[in-house]
Homo-oligomer: A and B are copies of this chain.
Amino acid sequence: MSGPPDAAAGEPEQWLATAHALADLARAVSLRWFRTPLDIHVKADHSPVTQADREVEALMREQIGLRHPTHGIVGEEHGDTRADAPLVWYLDPIDGTKSFVCGLPLWGTLIALVQDGVPVLGLIDAPVLGERWSALRDGPAWFGATGHTPQACTASACRELADARLCMPVPDNLGPAGRAAVEHLAEKVAVVRCGGDCYGYALVASGHLDIVVESGLDAHDFLPMVPIIEAAGGVITDWQGRPLGPQRAGDVVAAATHALHRQAIQRLAPRSR
């Protein structure tokens, strides 16, 4: 329903149809839990995780097993199944669990499909907002909102840091080096917004934000962003400018244009003092 207009042809289109089916399911179930009293459990990393999180992922894994029994699955909540298969799904049922637990709408369901180490499909769903972004590698990137026909979306044409709208982590959540790097970037841009979780990347794909920087992400957090940002015309790499893949550590920078990305990488680079 929120999917692209034509999803019926080859194998990648089948994967995309699966991703939309998973997101439809995740949206329906997660919204049933949103803003209800929650039994908050604290994981080893102290992030709150809810029953919604686990229920949604279990349902998504079941669907993948039915539709693509040979595919692997790596999920935030329930671990790895056939993680060495040629095609592996990465699932984050509720990215932004803090927002979810506090009743804020900026959480989302993240889905990626990785083929031989390369992310070939990405999907970001924002259930409360009724918004969804999705893409196959080589585009286009699709944006769908409840009640509207999905449309191709594109990143902004912003080429200069001085004009850029930046979304970055709350500085206290970074280590000293990461904090210094991000602040070195932030001092050159037009507008800085802290926080936003997965939603920041979606806004870059739609041209409303120009740069997102994050640090310490897991693969299931950033792999879905790669096909979406690239299909929208943007650039997404680690802080050294290297391509992102399942084995890469999660320091991520996404920018609307190559020119902007190059300048962001320069500002994020460690400096001699």
Q: Do residues B167 and A102 form an inter-chain contact, with CB atoms below 8 A?
A: yes
A238 to chain B, nearest CB (A): 23
A interface list, Cβ under 8 A from B: 35, 40, 48, 98-99, 101-106, 128-129, 165, 167, 170-172, 190-196, 199, 203, 206, 208-209
Q: Tell me the smallest distance from the CB of A48 to a CB of chain B, in Å.
A: 6
A170 / chain B contacts, CB cutoff of 8 Å: 170-172, 194-195
Structural contact, A194 and B194, CB atoms closer than 8 A: yes
A28 CB to nearest B CB, Å: 18
Query: Known: A98-B193, A194-B194. Contact between A103 and B208, CB under 8 A?
Result: yes
Query: Known contacts being A171-B170, A171-B172, A172-B172, is A103 close to B206, with CB within 8 Å?
Result: yes
A106 is contacted by which of B40, B104, B167, B206 (Cβ under 8 Å)? B104
**What is the CA–CA distance of A101 and B203 in the complex, to the nearest angstrom?**
11
B102 lies within 8 A of A208 (CB): yes
Sample of 20 A–B contacts (CB below 8 Å): A40-B190, A40-B191, A48-B191, A98-B192, A99-B193, A101-B165, A102-B203, A102-B208, A102-B209, A103-B206, A104-B193, A105-B105, A106-B106, A128-B129, A170-B171, A170-B172, A170-B194, A170-B195, A172-B172, A194-B194
